[in-house]
């Protein structure tokens, strides 16, 4: 976990992701398989199952070091390296020039969340196979462009549902607890609202500043420390023997 966070925050890029592009794999599958759901099974489900089997086989090899290396490599492949300073500044300029509406809270919060949190969550639940399932599903949907896949959209929604609400709780704990918790509880069990909106509303309600000029800095602090909140959860689960 420490390796992943250092890699994400200080390296400035993601050479692991650059080395293993999924575009050619998805293109090959699309070129050979016509049925939409079968394409998804071959492009995403089969690699996840393969990683699950490989991880299980090598788990005891070399005192687990090989499996650890595989897990770290897959996590590094999954994360999106984001320069939060640039992201915040870009949205600030857009808002000031009225090129973007006031929904920047939702846009920024969801982009940061999606860049690392679901991958970490599913790593804690299913190991590297869970990371592959989420990451390939997200990229498979992205490469469809204007096409849609109800199956993949629904799967991603539910894979992000619980980690989004845990992130909302982390924001509340870091900021205005009462405001953030109230906002989270209002939408916690709502399966119609998007996960992006859950995150945006909770982040906004958790902010402690009342000065509009400082809201970008407050949001940046909240999002950065929210990632470290997930690191604390992972460390606690490790100590408990998860």
Q: Where are the domains of the chain?
A: 2-239
pTM of the model: 0.86
Please enumerate, as own/partner, the contacts of 184-189 that have beta carbons within 8 Å and a separation of 24 or more.
none
CA distance 130 to 139: 14
Residue 104: both structure tokens together: 């920047």
Give pLDDT, residue 5. 56
Give pLDDT, residue 235. 82
Please enumerate, as own/partner, the contacts of 15-18 that have beta carbons within 8 Å and a separation of 24 or more.
16/73, 16/76, 16/77, 17/76, 17/77, 17/79, 17/80, 17/81
Give pLDDT, residue 134. 96
Give pLDDT, residue 216. 81
Give pLDDT, residue 100. 53
Mind listing the pLDDT tens digit of every residue in the chain (242 residues)? 555 555 455 555 566 666 777 888 888 898 888 788 899 999 999 999 999 999 989 888 887 788 888 888 898 888 887 777 777 777 666 666 555 555 777 888 999 999 999 999 999 999 999 999 999 999 999 888 777 788 899 999 999 999 999 999 999 999 999 999 999 999 998 989 999 999 999 999 999 877 766 788 888 899 989 988 998 888 888 788 76
Give pLDDT, residue 11. 53
Give pLDDT, residue 8. 55
Give pLDDT, residue 118. 95
Give pLDDT, residue 94. 62
């Amino acid at each position: 976990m420490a390796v992943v966070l250092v890699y994400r925050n200080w390296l400035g890029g993601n050479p692991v992701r650059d080395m293993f592009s999924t575009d050619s794999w998805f293109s090959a599958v699309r070129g050979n398989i016509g049925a939409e759901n079968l394409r998804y099974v071959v492009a995403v489900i089969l690699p996840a199952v393969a990683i699950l089997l490989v991880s299980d086989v090598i788990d005891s090899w070399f005192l687990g070091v090989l499996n650890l290396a595989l897990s770290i490599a897959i996590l590094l492949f999954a994360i999106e390296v984001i320069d939060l300073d640039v992201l915040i500044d870009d949205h600030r300029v857009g808002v000031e020039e009225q090129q973007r509406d006031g929904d920047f809270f939702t846009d920024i919060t969801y982009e940061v969340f999606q860049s690392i949190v679901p991958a970490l969550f599913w790593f804690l639940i299913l190991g590297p196979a869970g990371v592959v399932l989420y990451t390939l599903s997200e990229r498979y949907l992205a490469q469809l462009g204007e096409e849609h896949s109800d199956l993949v959209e629904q799967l991603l929604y539910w894979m992000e549902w619980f980690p989004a609400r845990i992130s909302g709780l982390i924001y509340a704990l870091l900021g205005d607890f009462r405001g953030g918790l109230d906002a989270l509880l209002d939408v916690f069990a709502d399966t119609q609202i998007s996960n992006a909106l859950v995150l945006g509303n909770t982040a906004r309600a958790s902010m402690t500043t009342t000065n509009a000029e400082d809201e970008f800095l407050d949001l940046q602090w909240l999002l950065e420390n929210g990632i470290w909140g997930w690191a604390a959860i992972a460390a606690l689960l490790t100590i408990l023997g998860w």
